[in-house]
Amino acid sequence: MFRQKRGRKRLRLLVVTLGAVLLVAVMTSEAPARRSPFEPLSLFARALAFIELAYVEPVDQEEMVYGAIRGLAESLDPHSEYMDPEEYEIFKSDSDGRFAGIGVEVSTRDGWLTILAVFDGGPADKAGLLPGDRFLTIDGEEARDMRLYDAVRMIRGEPGSTVDVTIRREGTAEALERTLRRAFIEIDPVETRILHGRVVYVRIAAFQDGTARALRSALDRAVTDLKKKGGIEGVLLDLRDNGGGLLDEAVWVSDEFLATGTIVSTRGRNGQEVARYSARRGGTRPKWPMVVLVNENTASASEIVAGALQDHERATLVGVRSFGKGSVQTIFDLPGGSALKLTISRYYTPSGRSIQALGITPDRIAERPRQDGEPKPYREEELEGHLEATPRTTDDRMRKDAPAINGKVPAFFDDVPQGARGYLVLLDELG
């Protein structure tokens, strides 16, 4: 932890130093005779000066610099980005899990603004929107190739206000037109239920501020509720469709179930270790039998948890190969309220595996049949400009389809091949 903070300070210093070099380059009319490592910055400064002096129309210097920095970040990898002050505020509200909008998680796929998840009970859910739906227009503006943050700005707004959207659903001939009334959305990161046989079902929707705290409270309640019935028999941890979030929260969630050993490590440039996070003995839960559900949308921080529990043989993973986002980003605050989100390292599971562009293969494969009109899942390796996978040791775990198991499953599992199969695998492990 402390090493990471010191590293962050060094990176901040680097940003400041480069800014000083850029200023010098602007003030210098002649390039040095010998090639300098900062020559590209001099080139940039000269181009900026020419645009300001000679472009046919006046330019907004601030907007031009914002665009230049944005281009720099986007040239690196899909997860590095520059956020102007308004975009940064949106980002922070997402991390808090509180915002006003229509209740969807969106991303871009092949230039299309696409719904990744629909929040239960939100305006989009009530209007019948589904994951995989693509936005054609937002308030009459074409959504194709629209920047993600621009789209988010248009979708969000004051609670009670409306937004008109046109949706294309795969497999349907006609576009769907909807008028949605925005509402205040608050994401509950942890959902728990008591299943048959004293099994505790825990769904983690996102790793945002307070997720680990919410998990501890939920498990404490389950322990109390089941104490007179013989205690918790097993845990079914659902990480499906969890796109990740904060690294620290993933570490603390993993720590709830691990007593000792590495949870995750990160390595930066040249493979040098940046940080290592380890489990603590204090407060660790009993070694309940455990199954973790994963799918193609299990990404980033949720892959850290799944990888740690798998490598320590603390849980059996059931589902399909995860997304494969094995990189770590940090936020660098910039003057004026903007920020740079920059990929600074890859992370590695306790056994030393990098899952970047590879994902995590579960111990038991259980696929969910695709619904009519549902788009083909995509993963990290399909993102343009993604970091390349790094070599990893051969994984000798037995990979096989989950065997047929006779037994009843809770009715709320509507996708039998994954949720119910995971529950049955857990019952099988309980004997």
Tokens of 385: 């400009």
Structural domain boundaries, residue 105 = 98-186
Our answer to whether residue 322 is catalytic in this structure is no
At residue 56, the 3 state secondary structure works out as coil
Q: Is 370 inside any structural domain?
A: yes
Tens of pLDDT, residue by residue over 155-205, are: 988 899 999 999 998 777 789 999 999 998 877 899 999 998 799 999 999
Please state, in angstroms and rounded to a whole number, the distance separating the CA atoms of residues 130 and 167: 10
Question: Three-class SS string for 288-353?
Answer: CCEEEEECCCCCCHHHHHHHHHHHCCCCEEEECCCCCCCEEEEEEECHHHCEEEEEEEEEECCCCC
Domain harbouring 423, CATH code: 3.90.226.10
Domain boundary among 157, 186, 215: 186
Residue 5 among the catalytic residues: no
Residues 120 and 215 in one domain: no
> Catalytic: 325?
yes
Which H/E stretch holds residue 168?
Answer: strand 162-168
Count of domains observed in the chain: 3
Q: Is residue 79 part of a domain?
A: no
User: Which of the residue ranges 27-31, 274-278, 364-368 has the most confident prediction, judged by mean pLDDT?
Assistant: 274-278
- In terms of domains, do 212 and 150 share one? no
Give pLDDT tens digits for 361-378. Answer: 999 998 887 766 666 777
Q: Residue 147: give its domain's CATH number.
A: 2.30.42.10
Q: Is there a single domain that holds both residue 25 and residue 55?
A: yes
Asked if 204 and 237 touch (Cβ cutoff 8 Å), the reply is yes
- Amino acid letter, residue 109: R
Please indicate, yes or no, whether residues 236 and 369 belong to a single structural domain of this protein.
yes
In a domain, 274, yes or no: yes
The answer on 267 and 328 residing in a single domain is yes
Distance in angstroms (rounded) separating the CA atoms of residues 90 and 84: 10
Say if 206 falls within a structural domain.
yes
From 133, 238, 311, 363, the catalytic residue: 311
In the three-class reduction of DSSP (H, G, I as helix; E, B as strand; rest coil), residue 62 is classed as: helix
Q: Are 157 and 140 in contact (CB under 8 A)?
A: no
Residue bearing tokens 């300098």: 36
Note whether 123 and 43 are same-domain residues.
Answer: no
pLDDT digits (tens, 9 = 90+) for 290-326: 999 999 989 999 999 999 999 999 999 999 999 999 9
Confidence at residue 138, expressed as pLDDT on a 0 to 100 scale: 95
Q: Which of 186, 220, 244 is the last residue of a domain?
A: 186
Shared domain for 358 and 411, answered yes or no, is: yes
pLDDT band at 40 (very low <50, low <70, confident <90, very high): confident
Query: Of these residues, 238, 325, 338, 345, which one is catalytic?
Result: 325
**Which DSSP helix (H) or strand (E) runs through 19?**
helix 2-27
- Does this model's pTM top 0.95? My answer is no
9 lies in the same domain as 125: no
Which tokens is 31 given? 């390039």
Is there a single domain that holds both residue 144 and residue 202?
no
Are residues 117 and 35 located together in one domain of the fold? no
Q: Let me know: does 161 contact 123? Beta carbons within 8 Å.
A: no
**Tens of pLDDT, residues 220-261:** 999 999 999 999 999 999 999 898 989 999 999 999 999 999
